[in-house]
Amino acid sequence: MAIRERRKGPRFNIHHPVFYFRNYQRREGRSLDVSLDGIKIETDAEVLPNETLDITLAIGESLVKVKGTVVYVEQLPQGSYHVGIAFKDLSPVAQKALTECFSDIMAHGSERPGILKKIE
C-alpha cells in the first residue's frame, strides 16, 4: 500500500545530525529528508506517534531549533526507527536557516558534503 504524500513543499535529502529530548534525556539521530513542513529522521530510540519533540538540527555551522509532532514511526529490521515529524510554529529564524540551506542545495547541487538532492 502506498503512503499518501502530505507535505505541501519540496523535500530535500539532507543527512545531518539531529538532537532531541525525550523523557528528559538527550537523544541523537540523523535527518533523512527535510522540508519547511517537517523532517524525517533515523534514530535508535523509540518515539511514539503524537509526541511533541524539541529538536535541534545541525545545518552547516548553525544549530536550528524547532518543535515538532511525531506523525509516524516505522521500526526497521535492524532495530532503528524512521520517524516523520511535522514542524509546529516554525520560527522566522528557523524558517530562514532552512530556506537558506535549501537555496544552497538548489544552487550547488549534490556535490556538497552532507547534502544529497532535492526529492521531487
Q: Where are the domains of the chain?
A: 13-111
H/E/C letters for each residue in 26-42? EEEEEEEEECCCEEEEE
Instruction: Give the chain's end-to-end CA distance (angstroms, integer).
Output: 20
Model confidence at 118, pLDDT cuts 50, 70, 90, reads very low
Residue with more model confidence, 107 or 94: 94
For residue 4, count other CB atoms closer than 10 A to its CB. 5
Q: What is the pTM of this model?
A: 0.79
For residues 21 and 46, give the distance between their C-alpha atoms in angstroms, rounded to a whole number.
12
For residue 64, count other CB atoms closer than 10 A to its CB. 22
Residues 38-94: tens digit of each pLDDT: 999 999 998 999 999 999 988 767 788 999 999 999 999 999 999 999 999 888 888
For residues 90 and 120, give the distance between their C-alpha atoms in angstroms, rounded to a whole number.
23
Residue 117, pLDDT above cutoff 50: no
pLDDT score, position 29: 94
Q: What is the mean pLDDT of the chain?
A: 81
For residues 81 and 90, give the distance between their C-alpha atoms in angstroms, rounded to a whole number.
24
Fold of 13-111: Thrombin, subunit H (2.40.10)
